[in-house]
Amino acid sequence: MNTIKIKFIAALTLVSLLVGAIVLILTPYMVKHEIVENALEHRSNTFEKSIKHFIEEHGSWGSAGDAVAFANSADFRLVEEVSDINQIPIKVTVFDQNGHVLHSGSGFTIGSRVDIGSMEDPEEIYVRDEVVAYMAATGDVQLSPWEKAYLHTLEETLFFSVLMAIITILPFGIWHGSRLVYSLKHLTRAVNSMAEGKLQQQVPINSGDEVGVLAQAFNSMNQQLVSAYKELETSRNLIADQAEKLKELSIRDELTGLYNRRFFNEEGATLMASSVRYNQPLSIVLGDVDHFKKINDNYSHATGDAVLKQVSKILQQGVRASDLVARFGGEEMVLALPNTSLPEATEMIDRIRAAIADYPWSDVAEGLSVTMSFGVSADESVQSLERRLDLADTELYRAKREGRNRVCACEPA
């Protein structure tokens, strides 16, 4: 960033030197030119009067003889006396409209003829709105000692003026360059921070120039970007929440809130594979509400639904966070108990069975009594979820046959 500051100062210095050089070169030239122009204008006016008087006296003009006659006439001597023509700071040649030399400043002969087109920017002399002669400067400017001293003083004054201007401009350039670099550093730092993920950025506005406008535009853009990002994050979180809710709805049983059978089959297969891989026990339990059809018939389907909801709560309260409980279908529930041996599973499920039997069902419906039967399978030699479910189902039916409200377990072979 310091490169910009150096370039800015260098540009100011270069411009100052360039302007100073132009002034130092052009001013003396223009002064010399103005001296010559003023002298030529004065002599031109004098020649005009003299030529006019000559024409009125002699009645002719424009020939070589007229040129010689004019040069030897009292009118020309009047020119020399009045204008001091030989003191002009540059040699001049005067010739009539046909090119005949009236006064020679560079070796021409009076009365000889010159090519008007070859003379550089001759001064026209008019009489009654007609060009009767020309005056052209020839040779170098010959300045007087006073004029030379004046030009020398002028050149010195200009030189020291330019030097002082540069000395004055440099501190200003350093100060202004520092301000410019300071503002750009803030902008660069803010942009880099945004690139690193720190979106909330604001930079100071120290001026009303283009850099200040850029800083203001950056702040406005940053605010809009941050606002848009927050809205996007809000929308993204909302979508994620909605997706999570939809996912939860898709894997939950609507009535009981337990996982559904499809989810149990997927998660149960994962638990089964982990059990086989790491040689850890996994107990599978199937449970069924005893005489559920009679509950629906004798009370109502609403009472049956209330029974299923309460049974589901008791099941969830009786298991661990790592255990999986699902509604397998109708009044049938299924459980997967990882890292749980058959005796441990049987003990846990028997506590749950007792809790269901002891629940005050009369609060749900007068005279209502609810029990559940369970079948447990934990044979590690059976490495298929479907086969363990079949074994648990066999034990469940055995519990039903033996009087219900009991837990039957499949002993390993």
Closest-CA residue to 407 (of 305, 337, 306, 329):
337
Say how far apart CA 317 and CA 147 lie, in whole Å: 117
Are the CB atoms for 116 and 95 separated by under 8 Å? yes
**383/272 Cα distance (integer angstroms):** 7
- Going through 107-241 in order, the beta strands assigned E by DSSP cover 123-127, 130-138
Burial of 75 (0-12, 13-18, 19+ CB in 10 A): buried
> Within its chain, how far is the Cα of 381 from the centroid?
66
d(CA 20, CA 24): 6
Question: Do 375 and 399 form a contact (C-beta atoms < 8 A)?
Answer: yes
Q: Is 288 within 8 Å of 372 (Cβ atoms)?
A: yes
Kindly give the pairing relationship between strand 324-329 and strand 407-410.
unpaired
Residue pair 254/243 in contact by the 8 Å Cβ criterion: no
Residue of 331, 386, 402, 411 marked active site: 331
| 391-394 long-range contacts, CB within 8 A, separation 24+ | 391/284, 392/284, 392/285, 392/286, 392/334, 393/286
For residue 331, indicate whether it is catalytic: yes
Asked whether the beta carbons of 1 and 188 are under 8 A apart, the reply is: yes
3-class DSSP state for residue 236?
helix
* Cα separation, 191 vs 156, whole angstroms: 51
Handedness of CA 232, 237, 240, 242 (dihedral sign): negative
Query: Active-site residue numbers?
Result: 331
